[in-house]
Structure 1
């Protein structure tokens, strides 16, 4: 089974108006489609994260789109950007793009990244012939770049799955004790005492766990400009 990262260079008809808004508006960088309803069809509900500084301006642009039936914006003061839930009637151009991945046996793995250069980054998983069929099924005027091909490793969907039990325990203790809080509230010595090991061993567990998780998070996510 193959995992393939693709970049799609979209001609204007395939660029969603809200994708174009992000590309053209200062203060917006990228949009990540994180979840969607399983049965993709004429009417779809989707969950996005928008890396942008002005949710009100984005909502105003959303309200002007005829295809958008409902939407809700959720902001958090502690982080840049905002989440968005949208119910939309599928545009014909979007239907032509998604048709390549329907009934082919491939799985599209979130997130799908809508970049500020109007390209889309996405990953698909499937048997080699199914992946080839899906790529060949994309509209001929869409530019396709295969950015990476590798054997599928299901652990990439759960970055913590590759941790040893001891590394997982060390991370759990560190988080509980406030080691990763904005203002660090504990020390490696305290974590070591809870784990029943030396400070050097505790530090090594944390270092290896952090490296494993971060490497897999970065490697499993299509490139964006967020």
Structure 2
């Protein structure tokens, strides 16, 4: 079994008008899409994890013509359920996964640029066919490809989204290198929290990972 992780970048900063509006609001962060389904009537439903000004999320969705209905829950971090009419590009993307023997891993990472990071799981031929079917109007970049090992994914999944974000920043900035190339303060500046919060989350991450490994 193989996997390919690709970044799909639309022109204009979003695959949907609503998604573009959320991506363009500085008080709102789209973290991930946990589910997205194409319904028999041609509309779509999706479940986002969002953080920041959740009242602004609801107000933005109220104003979008492609949104049929929505529900936003949470305080500073929460979920947004969105029922919407997809653009032709989104409809084609979802049809590609339905028409091929491919697994679309969730959650799908949302990027600040408005694009998404997607991991496809299947055999090499099917992955290549899916990638070749992605509309030319989208920019596609390959981030990784290889044998799929779900154990590492399961280990990562025991962490909360905020813990995943801080861990990824710590690894990318060299916190776990010898000697260390980053401090809690450096990581805090990258993810927008306090140094104390970074330290607390990293201790929890290390505790969860180690306890999972020795079970």
TM bucket (normalised to shorter chain) is: 0.5 to 0.7
Give, in whole Å, the separation in 1 of the partners of 2:39 and 2:151: 25
State the Cα distance separating 1:98 from its structure 2 match: 2.2
- Partner of residue 15, structure 2: 15
Is 1:133 matched up with 2:132? no
Structure 2 residues without counterparts, runs of 5 or longer:
158-196, 198-204
State the Cα distance separating 1:68 from its structure 2 match: 1.6
Is 1:112 matched up with 2:108? yes
- Partner of residue 221, structure 1: none
Q: How many residue pairs align between the two structures?
A: 168
Secondary structure (helix, strand or coil) at the match of 2:59 reads helix
Give, in whole Å, the separation in 2 of the partners of 1:2 and 1:75: 36
For the pair shown, the structure with the greater C-alpha radius of gyration is: 1
Residues 100 and 135 of structure 1 are in contact (CA less than 8 Å); yes or no, is this contact kept in structure 2?
no
The alignment's TM-score, normalised by the length of structure 1, stands at: 0.64
- Give the alignment partner of residue 90 of structure 1, picking from 79, 86, 97: 86
The alignment's TM-score, normalised by the length of structure 2, stands at: 0.67
Paired residues for 1:36-47 under 5 Å: 36-37=36-37, 42-47=42-47
Give, in whole Å, the separation in 1 of the partners of 2:120 and 2:12: 23
Paired residues for 1:170-185 under 5 Å: none
Secondary structure (helix, strand or coil) at the match of 2:134 reads coil
State the Cα distance separating 1:37 from its structure 2 match: 4.0
Residues 22 and 116 of structure 1 are in contact (CA less than 8 Å); yes or no, is this contact kept in structure 2?
no
Structure 1 residues without counterparts, runs of 5 or longer:
162-181, 183-205, 215-226
State the Cα distance separating 1:82 from its structure 2 match: 1.7
- Partner of residue 62, structure 1: 61
* 1:141-184 C-alpha deviation (Å, 9 max, x unpaired): 311111011211232453289xxxxxxxxxxxxxxxxxxxx9xx
Paired residues for 1:164-175 under 5 Å: none
